[in-house]
Amino acid sequence: MSNESSRWYYRLGNSECNEFLWTGAISSATKVTKAEIKRAICKQEGLKRLPAQSVVVSQTQMSTAKQGIAAARDAMNGVTRSTPIAVKPKVFENVGDAPITVEDVRDMLKKFGLA
């Protein structure tokens, strides 16, 4: 993957800061690949390798994601959520009065997505 950018943000997997904050950022005068930037982060942080669950994102990737989120929000403007309609449940006087047949069981399973 030759994702190239000159500004990269990273969050180390062992970082104790808030999950929405970046651990740091690295800029480059020239275009660099993600593998090169990972090596630079290790060098800057004094690590042999990046901790598990570390996140490295280019400024280009970040702005593309923000545009996608903004487009989704724009598409949802004016859309109102439907309100669920309460249905009165059937009440049986005795358990034996409830009609339980094979078809009833199949219908119940389909209703709850189990069949």
Domain ranges in the chain? 5-76
**Using alpha carbons only, what angle is made at residue 40 by residues 42 and 53, rounded to the nearest 5 degrees?**
50
Which tokens belong to 93? 């006087």
Q: What is the pLDDT of residues 51-107, one digit of tens each?
A: 888 888 888 888 888 888 777 777 777 666 677 788 887 776 776 666 678 888 888
Sign of CA dihedral 62, 68, 71, 72: negative
Structure confidence at residue 43 as a pLDDT band (50, 70, 90): very high
pLDDT confidence of residue 97: 64
- Residue 70 CA, chain-centre distance (Å), reads 15
Which amino acid is located at 30 in the chain? T
